[in-house]
Amino acid sequence: MRELGWRTDSEKKVFSTPIFDISEMERTSHDGRHGKFVRLDSPDWVVAIPWFRRQDGVPCFVMEEQWRHGPGRVTREFPAGLVEKGESGEDAAKRELMEETGMSGKFTLLGAACPNPAFMNNVQSFFLVEDIKKEGGQSLDPNEEIVVIEVPVEDVIRDMGEGLYDNGIMMEAIGFFMRYAEKHPQLRTLTV
């Protein structure tokens, strides 16, 4: 098997923001090629996927609608955020769910992935949240405005990748959820 690694010859931070830094590296390949590369250094991210069954037997997600400055419009997403220094992924997901929805529940790690390994160094973890209960109100950041809604699971799966749901992170979340639901089909089935 051919060696694919690159040696880091130098590395320096070239730009900082409140949510990520940018580093520039000079690296040399196993066969002597040399290049400059840029990496976005971000804290790890978490996504909480709150699931419940309505009184009529329909499985639903708790979701959020909020303005996103990247695309300049409203999106529909699961509660999510950054892992703070010294915090575990699960603790971060619990904190984000509580801050954004005022809810708590039982957390199960569905999986983790690098959002974009071409230039990012962080990992994003996805947690299914069951047995959710309302504990209090929202505790949002100063520039957050989040509307909490309930959406049937099958509607989210049907609409994923379009309109309000055209978010790559959401696609990953639904992928992890659907893989888990194959072994736990009650997460998608209607009960009467």
For 134-190, the pLDDT digits (tens) are 999 999 989 899 999 999 999 999 999 999 999 999 999 999 999 999 999 999 999
Q: What is the DSSP letter of 62?
A: E
| Tens digits of residue pLDDT in 28-43 | 998 899 999 999 999 9
Q: What is the value of pTM for the model shown? A: 0.93
| Tens digits of residue pLDDT in 64-103 | 999 999 999 999 999 999 999 999 999 999 999 999 999 9
Q: What is the DSSP letter of 144?
A: -
Residue 46: partners with Cβ closer than 8 Å, 6 or more residues away? 80, 81, 82, 83, 89, 90, 92, 93, 96, 124, 125, 126, 127
SS3 1: coil
